[in-house]
Structure 1
Amino acid sequence: MDYNHGMATTTAISTPREGSLENDSIEQAPTRNPFQSPYGSMPASAMGSSSAFQPAAPPRYFHSRRIRKGEQERPWLDRKDPKEKWVTIIPVIGIVVGLALSGFLIYDGLKSVTNHVYCPVLDEDFSGGLNSQVWTKEVEVGGYGNGQFEWTTNSDENAFVQDGMLVIKPTLQDEKLMETNNVINLLKDGSCSTTNWLDCVAVTNTTNGTVVNPVKSARINTKAGATIKYGRVEVEARMPAGDWLWPAIWMLPVKDTYGAWPASGEIDIVESRGNNYTYPQGGNNIVSSTLHWGPDTNNDGWFRNNVKRQALHTTYAAGFHTYGLEWSEKYIFSYIDTRLLQVMYVNFNKPFWQKGDFPPSDSNGTRLVDPWSQTGEKSTPFDQDFYLILNVAVGGTNGWFEDGVKSKPWVDASPTAPRDFWNARDQWYPTWEKNGQMTVKSVKISQQKGFNGC
């Protein structure tokens, strides 16, 4: 039975009951495609039917809903916020203050540095070799108080002129002196630069593990031929590249007027390390300048004026730079390439005893005494004649190379530190082969007018 006679489509697509006679006469209507166009595919009978044909909707075009100028409300124009003006005023004030502060700093810097008149003392380009009337090669094995591993020689193997430039080059020690019992006695042959036994004698003892200096190098100075009290120094040089090398351009007093080091002062124009830029303490991409001064070795005020300068996208071993020092009775500063690029600057505006803020006594309870007060000068101890030193040291046990950093092959406190360093030569010596020397193009030293007969 057809319960919905009026819905023929529903009856047609319903599943017929089994055994019904209507199954033979009713066919299933095709399903309409919802994406089919209403035109073209419709039968003609349907097109003629007003109920079947519906006209297409007219095409719709883009209609802009942009708000026209003047239609939107602008309540902020009716009432201005009184705080709004500070949005402009505060940045302007900051710019003005910044410019004023910059101007003051430039003025103060220019005022503190005077353009002095100088008398030439040394203008060395090494075209005539190493002048023995000016330069002295220091010979000693004591490590210069820093436990350094080099034996500074007077041999042309370690300090020589090549292509019109001075070369200071460390080299390996003779294996025979390292591997068998031996003694280096510089006092015996009269070549030692000092009379201190510890600076002139070194021993290899295979039983207790002590060895002579595992490296030979050079340290030369101008003490015999070029000294100044206030003036200017400029050294054009290229720093070495190689693990555990310690190059330095520095100055010491001709006389220990105020006592043993550091009471009479030390001027470090530049120091560096030969390790590459990955070395955490700073390799040959960083140089430093400082002054050493204090009543004794345990009270050295160097850290109060130590300044480092990093090379920009390069290293100081990649090319030549001018390392300079300007020193007067009012100030002292170091610079690189130009006086405008200062590294360390120390103003002699108060006595060094006050600058040091030293304790009343040392660790043993001995009272510390100001060694400089008798002069009445604020520049003391840097008011005496100083001479220039050029050298390449190697290693050391004073902390310049920190223990445990970058596979350092020795420990400072070890009694066998030089031997441990020697045993690791296959690691560090290959890093010296390409540029393991300091090369110096020129040295210029000038005396400030009004001192030392200038």
Structure 2
Amino acid sequence: MKNYNHFIISVLTLMLFISCQDDDNQFGAIEAPSNLQIEHTIVNADAENEFGDGSGMVNFTATADNAINYKFLFGDSNVENQTNGSASHAYALTGVNTYTVTVIASGVGGTTSSATSEVTVLSLFSDQRTKDLLTGGEGQSKTWYVAKEESGHLGVGPLDSATPDFFAAPANGLADCFYDEQITIADTGESALSFNHDNGGVTFFNAAFNSVGGGGGPDDQCLPFDVSGEKSLTLSSANSTLPSDLTVGTQLNISDDGFFSYYINTSSYEVLDIGEDYLFLRALSGQANPLAWYLKFTTNPDGSIGDSNSNELQTEYTDEVFSEEFDVNGAPDPNIWNLEIGNGDNGWGNEELQYYTEDNVIVEDGFLKITAKREQTNGFDFSSTRMTTLDKFDFEYGRIEVRAKLPEGGGTWPAIWMLGSNFPEVGWPETGEIDIMEHKGNDPGVVYGSLHFPGNSGGNAVSETTTVQSVSEEFNNYTVEWSADRILFAVNDEVYHEFTNTSSTPFNNPFFLILNVAMGGTFGGDVDPAFTESTMEVDYIRVYQ
């Protein structure tokens, strides 16, 4: 545990030293900041939209002579500290409202000066879903705990990344005081939510800010710090730099210098993802050279996400972004699907025995049907179909669910899988491969979920299996839940394989979908001499983010 804590301390102490070393050479005369000026720009305000675009977003700039820090009091109980005098704030109160903004400029020796300014801005922001998930709904409350059982429950990375590339904490790898925290968020019927933070009187401090808790050296992390008292939490539009598929787009703003468990001198947090029992936040530390911090929370007091006594999939993703229901008879939709023809290079690199055609697939009666047949086709003994969504549909992170009934017969090798969309440029296995479902007709009922990537490809893939009854007689749901932190494989919502994803794997880019039924090969094995034909049927494919 100490090694991980010291890693964070070392990184942040170095950055703190770099940012402050020039100031420490000499203090000079102690003078209060003077000539304090406040300017603001309402985002997307113009002649037709005097008060902005409805996001409530305003950019502020404060300047003063002899100032080393600026404290912004935005007039809605939210506060932010900035050393460079620049701050952005999203106002949440619906309608056109006027706020009195106060800036306190601090100089050496603790001297201060202040100034005020008014800003009138329009906010039309609303995110009832996030509000309800935070609290359980009107009149309800939820208590949130640090998700200590999850890797990356605290992480840090650069501003231009969406992942904790510098450090991601392993499960239970940090100071105990961090794990004693609990935060209760309640919906009392007011526009702002109630925010109560119980830290047992001790807070886990970022090393750059431990002086706030009265600490001395960089090793002082768990420090006495009073966070008692009810605060308010408002939701506003996030001034996000992340792609829209990696963020909810909502920012949480806590009044009176409140914060989520780890002190990094900010009260504003962007919601990257949220579910019934899962909250994933990103925040920028309030220092001259800010970093992006990531925090995970859960409603389970033991720090796990989902039911720790069950393998049932607890999804993080609920918004459907893609659906292929196969409800139009005929050939597969050419706007979604490519049909690959031939036997590839050495049977697609696997010594497969079939030749892929356009004639072995049809959409009929609400189902996609791929049929493998024993027939002479272009010099091969078997025919089948392989279809992809390359350059037509891909996605990065989310839940993909495919409801399918599998073919039967020794030698059949049906697969529902994905490759990285950069496959044409980088090749395999560098692109990464996610096998949502693979099945051997020679081993009926055993379903495989596998990952291929450099160092773990071919026969050395990271793979697990589960037994499913009647795979060729009944439809089953084959699911992959994929995030920057983990990849889960499930059948009928029962998780059987969990992989810890990191920034070093290729599973942090868009992937496209592949459906096929192969024959024989290195995985399918010997073909039953009695085999004539068999079909994989797909009811639907749905993607949620």
Given the two structures, how large is their TM-score scaled by the length of structure 1?
0.48
The structure where helix makes up a greater share of residues is 1
The structure where strand makes up a greater share of residues is 2
The structure that has the greater radius of gyration is: 1
